[in-house]
Amino acid sequence: MHVVYGRDLDLNLLRVFAVVAEAGSVTAAASRLYLTQPAVSAALRRLQSAVAAPLFVRQGRGLVLTARGEQLRAAIQPHLQALVDAALVPDRFDPATSERTFRIGLSDASELWLLPPLLRVLAREAPGMRVIVVPVQFRTVASALAQGLDAAVTVADELPPSIRRQPLTSSGFMCVHDPRHTRFKRLTERVYFEHDHVIVSYNADLRGLIEDSQRKQRRVRVSVPSFSSIGALIEGTAMLGTVPRIVGAQIVKHHPRLALAPLPFEPWAGTIELFWPTATDDDEPCRWLRARITEVAGAA
The domain segmentation of the chain, as residue ranges, is 2-88, 101-171+271-299, 173-268
* Mean pLDDT calculated for residue range 253-273: 90
- Residues 182 and 238: beta-carbon distance below 8 Å: yes
Task: Please give the pLDDT value at position 259.
Answer: 97
Alpha carbon 299 to chain centroid, angstroms? 21
Are 56 and 19 in contact, with CB atoms under 8 Å apart?
no
Phi, psi of 92 (to 5 degrees): -80, 135
Question: Which CATH fold would you assign to the domain 173-268?
Answer: D-Maltodextrin-Binding Protein; domain 2 (3.40.190)
Strand duo 240-244 + 196-200: pairing: parallel
Angle at 243 (CA atoms; ends 238, 246), nearest 5 degrees:
130
First-to-last C-alpha distance (Å) of the chain: 51
Q: What percentage of the chain exceeds 70 in pLDDT?
A: 94
Is the pLDDT at 191 greater than 80? The verdict is yes
Q: What is the pLDDT of residues 130-184, one digit of tens each?
A: 999 999 988 899 999 999 999 999 988 889 999 999 999 887 899 999 999 998 9
DSSP string, 230-257: HHHHHTTSS-EEEEEHHHHHHHHHH-TT
Residue-wise pLDDT tens digits, 268-278: 767 899 999 99
Tell me the mean pLDDT in the region 72-79. 87
Query: Cα-Cα-Cα-Cα dihedral of 236, 240, 246, 249, to 10°?
Result: 30
pLDDT higher than 90, residue 90: no
- Cα distances from 275 to residues 1, 149, 152, 217, 292, in angstroms, run 37, 10, 5, 33, 14
Task: Find the mean pLDDT for residues 109-119.
Answer: 92
- Strands in 240-244's sheet, in edge-to-edge order, are 219-224, 196-200, 240-244, 173-177, 259-262
Q: Is the pLDDT of residue 13 over 80?
A: yes
pTM of this prediction exceeds 0.75: no
H helices of the chain, in order, are 2-6, 12-23, 26-33, 37-51, 67-88, 108-125, 141-146, 179-182, 189-194, 209-214, 230-234, 245-254, 284-299
pLDDT classification of 10: cutoffs 50, 70, 90: confident
**Element containing residue 151 per DSSP (H, E):** strand 151-154
Distance CA 158, CA 275 (A): 12
Output the pLDDT for position 20: 92
Asked if pLDDT for residue 185 goes beyond 50, the answer is yes
| Domains 2-88 and 173-268 agree in fold | no
What SS3 state is found at 101?
A: strand
Residue 40, pLDDT > 80, answer yes
Q: How far is CA 283 from CA 81, 101, 291, in A?
A: 23, 13, 12
CATH architecture group of domain 2-88: Orthogonal Bundle (1.10)
Least confident of 8-12, 13-17, 87-91: 87-91
Average pLDDT over residues 238-267: 93
Average pLDDT, stretch 220-235? 95
Can you tell me whether residue 262 is helix, strand or coil? strand
What is d(CA 176, CA 121) in angstroms, rounded to the nearest whole number?
A: 29
Q: Domain 101-171+271-299: which topology?
A: D-Maltodextrin-Binding Protein; domain 2 (3.40.190)
